[in-house]
Structure 1
């Protein structure tokens, strides 16, 4: 009987350990470690990239640092190609991805996500001296639209009835044609336009948003409700105390957590 009782006690203790392990929350690991392990591509300006000194910088890098600060830990960055970034998260190589990840229904089957922290739109780009009303698909009938070859924006532009879509290898080429009047408008992600304007130094400006908005969030492995609460609170606090707006304005000239203002 003593042997049986000992065996039962040992089994109960093992079961307790197993349940405790299952109940462990990622927040506990992050706090104990003192670091938030963050994955980014590192080659995706202006979101995350290496500056001229080889230092990792960008909007997402600044946001990740600010979140880690709110959690009371230090950020620890890993750079990895997009093709394997979600698999690395699933295998536990890092805690979160802060890299403009869309929280799709398919991804939610595998990961939990923070509250959205970025709102993005397809947006027209026009010449700096443009005076015509170019806001809707109807306004673009008969107009020449420049887009990147094979991009989602090319598909969107082709859906505009009567528009003439011209595809280019990249943004530099179609923005040059826009500036010189060879095309009427261009189309890209609203978040990239300030960066493209600064990079090219061309006489262009952001036009009207067009098409559906999309939101991006921070993914992490399932089963850590305390961690999700902490991440969401950190984001909310950053927005409440003005830190988020400061970071966003630095990179995009506006608060990208809010709907875009129509020009």
Structure 2
């Protein structure tokens, strides 16, 4: 009986491999033939690196695309800045880690169809959920974020800039500021897994034309080799299917994100 079960399992695996092979009608160009080299850094829950390779939301997205095109996944674990350079230099096919789709970035590399949003969150003790709630309060945010310029124009001296999200969180928890604008995704994940933002409510901002990031959040995507049309088409086709069958929204909800984070809309680039 055990031999029969084992034989059945082998046959099932063989049939699965045959199905993948039959579906690989177009060859995808990669750095190493038959393999998809993935540059990854540690940025949970999107890219989680370990001695055994990688995992996470972004990794699962590219892994499925690789399987659909009969490609073996090979992982390169690097520092954040080095992941993009690995693609530019031709050492890697793709880079993962919740990279935003920006016009500046697209000058050096290509970006896949949007995978999910990277929205602005509002962090407060009282549950503030709008830009309007910032008026008359001491507000904090992090240097370099997309919404900094608009908030400076709106709030003037009532806006305090911080060098890191950690410094921002410390002042918010201590009551030195009333409310903060920070990355929704990273905040929710840190609060859930690392006991961060104690006593703080994190919500998606309501749309407000005065701060465009609250109206149209930045879209994340998978970075890939500039001009590699076959790889881009394979990634885009797979990402579309993963949106349609609910795989991406399920992965986002599993780590505590609002399902709206999966509602990417039409592809766009941040200027």
Same fold (TM over 0.5): yes
Name the residue aligned to 1:135.
130
- Per the TM alignment, residue 163 of structure 1 is displaced from its structure 2 partner at its CA by 6.0
Counterparts of 1:162 and 1:141, CA distance in 2:
10
For the pair 1:165 / 2:159, whether they are aligned, the reply is yes
Query: Within 5 Å, which residues of 2 pair with 1:72-91?
Result: 72-91=70-89
Tell me which of 69, 84, 94 is aligned to 2:67. Answer: 69
Task: Number of aligned residue pairs: give it.
Answer: 228
2:199 matched residue in structure 1: 203
Select 1:215's aligned residue among 219, 224, 228: 219
Deviation of the 1:176 alpha carbon: 4.2
* Higher mean displacement: 191-200 or 209-218: 209-218
Distance of 1:230 and 1:50 partners within structure 2: 24
Q: Any idea what SS the aligned residue of 1:104 has?
A: coil
Deviations 1:211-250 (A, max 9, x none): 4221122232244333222111111111122221222222
Query: What residue number does 2:42 align with?
Result: 43
Match of 2:93 among 92, 95, 115: 95
Partner of 2:22: none
Does the C-alpha gap of structure 1 residues 26 and 214 become closer, same or farther in structure 2, counting only changes over 3 Å? farther
Q: Is the 8 A contact 2:101 2:111 kept in 1?
A: yes
Q: Is the 8 A contact 2:100 2:118 kept in 1?
A: no
Q: Which residue of 2 aligns with 1:248?
A: 252
Determine the structure 2 residue equivalent to 1:182. Answer: 176
CA offset digits 1:8-45 (Å, max 9, x no partner)? xxxxxxxxxxxxxxxxx970447x843211112x2333
Q: State the match for 1:4 in structure 2.
A: none
1:192 Cα deviation (Å)? 1.2
Shift of 1:179: 3.7
Distance 1:154 1:181, change over 3 A: same
Unaligned regions of 5+ residues in structure 1, if any? 1-24
Cα drift, residue 135 of structure 1: 0.8
Shift in Å, 1:162? 5.2
Give the alignment's TM-score, normalised by structure 1: 0.72
CA contact (8 A) 2:49 2:77 kept: no
Deviation, structure 1 residue 140:
1.3
Show the 5 A alignment for 1:14-25. none
Retained in 1: the 8 A contact 2:30–2:231?
no
2:141 paired residue number? 147
> How has the CA–CA distance of structure 1 residues 139 and 259 changed in structure 2, closer, same or farther, with 3 Å as cutoff?
farther
Compare CA radii of gyration and give the structure with the larger one: 1
C-alpha distance in 2, partners of 1:165/1:238? Answer: 40
Aligned equivalents of 1:155, 1:174: Cα separation in 2 = 17
* Moved beyond 6 Å, runs of 4+: none
Q: Is the 8 A contact 1:197 1:205 kept in 2?
A: no
Structure 1 pair 208–119 and aligned structure 2 pair: CA distance change class (3 A)? closer
CA distance in 2, matches of 1:168, 1:112: 31
Alpha-carbon distance in 1 for matches of 2:264, 2:123? 17
- Secondary structure of the 1:218 match is strand
Show structure 2 runs of 5+ residues with no match.
Answer: 1-25, 206-210, 266-271
TM-score normalised to structure 2 length: 0.70
2-structure distance, mates of 1:143, 1:44: 32
